[in-house]
Structure 1
Amino acid sequence: MALRLQQSVKYLILSLFTFVSIYPIFLMITSSFKTKQEITTHPLGLPSSFSLENYTSVWKKVHFADYFLNSLYISSVSVFLILFVSSLAAFYISRYTFRWNGMVLFFFMLGLMLPMKLAISPLYMMMLKLHLLDTLSALIIVYVAGHISFAVFVFYGFFRTLPKDLDQSARIDGCNDFQVYYKIVLPLMRPALATVSIVDLIGIWNDFFYPLIFIKSTELGTIPLGMLTLFGEYDTDWNLLFCGLTLSSLPMITAFLFASKQFIEGMTTGAVK
């Protein structure tokens, strides 16, 4: 009886946390179908009718397609470069011993200790001299440089858990160093790849600060900048804002659903021996 009561309390607490986590998303989606008046008068109620008129309006009014494609391009290229460069760096640092091994790892860890936003003025001047202001390449460079330290930290810890006998066996079979990384190690690090991908993708997709600094053209804006146009000086189109938020969150929700299993495995790697 006591065990059943204990299990019931656990499920009750879990259900409460689930409700608290999901209800804001549910409220955002339902509000995207409401009119502006319904959001003001009945903010927590259901819409009187489900129509795609708000989505059509936000797609045309804010040029959401351009912002979506820009965000998709920046996020996908940045995440790919982060995964590729950081996995190679972490593989080399963790699998090979050389004189400056610790110093190189410490150099990457400095990126976790020092926020890049403190260096926004030198970054702006550097992009100005390189003629990269108001380009998507500037954002990609900043994102890769800013997120590579976290990725190296995660991959380094993951590589340390893999036995080096795998490398030696692959070399006996004729694999070179890159083939050991690509054919042997890379398939085993899917949980770590999923963890870094989702964490970095969410940070890059939702970032507002760097696009505001480096992007001036409207056609090169990202989704967070596009949502800013819905905030008026005296009034705000809340129904269109909720539509934009719903559309912008769908790729993140989809990515997490596809990679959730690998993400959870990556977060719990090393927790159980």
Structure 2
Amino acid sequence: MKAVNTILKYAAIVMISILALIPFYVLLFLSLNEPSRSLFDGSLFLPDFHFSNYIEAWRASNIGRAVSNSLIITAAALVVMLALASSAGYSIARFPHKANKLIFSVLLVCMMVPAIIITVPLYTLMRSIHGINTLWAMILLLAANGLPLAVFLYTSFIKALPREVEESAIIDGCSNFSAFWRVTFHFLKPVTSSIFILSGLGIWNNYGQAVFFLQREEVRTIPLAISMFFQKYGADWNLMAAAAMIGLAPAVLAFLIFQKYFIKGITAGAVKG
């Protein structure tokens, strides 16, 4: 009976994995086919390996600039968010006085508010600070969007760490701030990687706010560039698939690099926090 249950579990995992991979397979298949060939022409397992689709999509969509903009925004927003969230999480976890508890409660409430709801007041604010069509304003906006979740995860994770981790450094003469960055932060790699993936993918794929605040072509991110490309080349499925694969590749690569820390960080913060 145990063997049957094990087989059924693995069969379910395989089936779910196959269903999840089918859309990516179709996308890759279409991106490698000749422009004149549809998905149902010829073999469903052997594409034409027409790599010039990628060259044409790269040229026609100006996605190279969009990739650069997305990398700058994502990297800078993550640096700002991780620095602020880890510091705030440490303060809330190690110094749980009333003010910190209130701030933590406010952040939990902010996690329940969809970012798209505050787009109109944000647009007014962005105009007043001349942040429309600028990368720096988008960096600060997206970093602020991800702060509540990041602070929550850091707080839960740091609470699980013994105080002795930084107390020994404080005894040796370090301040609380110095002890955190020199000692405690090195133990936060799992949760940092989890936040990096969760928030990084959200920033990379942000469309709802970018479409309002990044209107000029030279500051567009990947979702905006692909959306405009789809509107222009809506009938060219092969080029659209190639453009989508180009935009997808950096996110998949980042996930593959940090995946071993992802589940570890989430479960550690959830179970021990």
Shorter-chain TM range is over 0.9
Q: CA deviation at 1:176?
A: 1.4
Equivalent pair of 1:31/1:47 in contact (CA under 8 Å): no
Output the amino acid matched with 2:130: H
Q: Which residue matches 2:57?
A: 58
* Cα separation, 1, equivalents of 2:169 and 2:43: 60
What TM-score do the two structures reach when normalised by structure 1?
A: 0.93
2:34–2:48: 8 Å Cα contact kept in structure 1? Answer: no
Instruction: Tell me how large the CA RMSD over aligned residues is.
Output: 2.0
Which residue of 1 is the match for residue 34 of structure 2? 35
Which residue pairs with 1:231 in the alignment? 230
Give the deviation of 1:6 after TM superposition: 2.4
Structure 1 spans left out of the alignment, 5+ residues? none
Unaligned runs of 5+ residues in structure 2 are none
How far the C-alpha of 1:233 sits from its partner, in A, is 7.0
Q: How much does 1:144 deviate? A: 1.1
Alignment of 1:147-158 (within 5 A): 147-158=146-157
Deviation at 1:121, TM superposition (A): 1.4
Q: Could you tell me how far apart the structure 2 residues matched to 1:164 and 1:187 are?
A: 14
Identity value in percent: 27
What letter is aligned with 2:247? Answer: S
C-alpha distance in 1, partners of 2:193/2:19?
Answer: 26
The letter of the residue matching 1:181 is: F
Aligned 8 A contact 2:154 2:269 in 1: no
Distance (whole Å) between structure 1 residues aligned to residue 38 and residue 80 of structure 2: 42
> 1:23 Cα shift?
2.3
The residue number in structure 2 matching 1:94 is 93
Amino acid aligned to 2:242: C
Q: Is the 2:233–2:240 Cα contact (8 Å) retained in structure 1?
A: no
CA distance in 2, matches of 1:88, 1:81: 11
Which letter maps to 1:214? F
Quick one: distance in 2 between partners of 1:234 and 1:159?
49
SS in 1 for 2:133: coil
Q: Per-residue CA shift, 1:186-232, capped at 9, x if unaligned?
A: 11111100111100111111111111101121111111111122334
The answer to whether the 8 A contact 1:94-1:156 is kept is: yes
1:160 positional shift:
0.8
Distance 2:134 2:233 in 1: 32
Q: Can you list the C-alpha shifts for 1:74-104, whole angstroms capped at 9, x where unaligned?
A: 0111111111111001101111143412112
More deviation in 2-11 or 222-231?
Answer: 2-11
Q: Quickly say closer, same or farther: Cα 1:42–1:144, change in 2 above 3 A.
A: same
Q: CA deviation at 1:117?
A: 1.8
Match of 2:219?
220
Q: What is the match of residue 26 of structure 1? A: 25
Give the count of matched residue pairs: 272
Instruction: Give 1:164 deviation, angstroms.
Output: 1.3
User: Which portions of structure 1, spanning 4 or more consecutive aligned residues, are displaced by more than 4 angstroms?
Assistant: 270-273
Match of 2:69 in 1: 70
Distance 2:234 2:247 in 1: 22
Deviation at 1:34, TM superposition (A): 1.1
1:146 aligned residue: 145
Q: Name the structure 2 match of 1:243.
A: 242
CA distance in 2 between partners of 1:54 and 1:203 (Å): 27
